Amino acid sequence: MIGSIPYTDMAYKAPSFGLFVQEGGAFAYMRIAATFGGAVPLSVQGDGRKIIVFPGFMASDQSTGRLRRSLNAAGFDSVGWGLGRNRGVTHDMLHRVHEKLDSIAGRDPISLVGWSLGGLVAREYAKLYPELIDKIVTLGSPFSGHPRANNAWRAYEAIAGHSVDNPPIKTILHEKPPVPTIAIWSPADGIVASESARGLPGQSDAQIRLNCRHMDFVCRPEAIQAIAEALTGH
């Protein structure tokens, strides 16, 4: 809700400094792989469904390039969110997302894949328009616990211009959208507390554990394979 967010668990802590510093190398790899990395061969075949991929905080569609190339090569129809760099939640963000999805969606419901903050946006959108969404897959998204249980909240507040627990839209982050929702998380995440991205029972329908950095979710082959399996139900 505007003004405060009810928390499910105040005990989650941000990842350690040791994990955080390892994200530097992962970030460099992600930047290279996003631009130059080829499609990852996947063991599952897509069914042509439309997929919208939401980037993380301060990221753009370029960051999800390898993920989308891989999904498309496997038979999915994935596109970026098309709204530029994700600089944080704004009062009209969900309206802008709806306009974008309305312009590209067909007759069938679409799937949403959201990395980090992008996963929170995807979850909130599906709460408003569940009839348009087939499935949600979040990647290291902090939907559970305290919104400061991560190593990005200070930068977020400085850039977005609002407190992480006082967003400009109505939200109860831990409430599960009324559509199938899968949370992919990692204990090696150096940005978001693994408990926040995994969530508590009832906050998502399934949880998939990986062993990767936060920056790896959109570029490492094992992460992309897990995303494809989540989308197809394998």
Looking at domain 17-232, its CATH superfamily turns out to be Alpha/Beta hydrolase fold, catalytic domain (3.40.50.1820)
Q: 79-106 pLDDT, tens per residue?
A: 999 999 999 999 999 999 999 888 887 7
pLDDT digits (tens, 9 = 90+) for 111-158: 999 999 999 999 999 999 999 999 999 999 999 999 999 999 999 999
Tell me the CA distances in angstroms from 77 to 83, 199, 229, one per residue in order: 18, 29, 15
- Closest by CA to 139, choosing from 181, 76, 174, 170, is 181
- Predicted confidence (pLDDT) per residue in 161-198, tens digit: 999 989 999 899 999 999 999 999 999 999 999 999 99
- State CA 20 to chain mean position distance: 19
Closest CA to 234 of 226, 164, 16, 183: 226
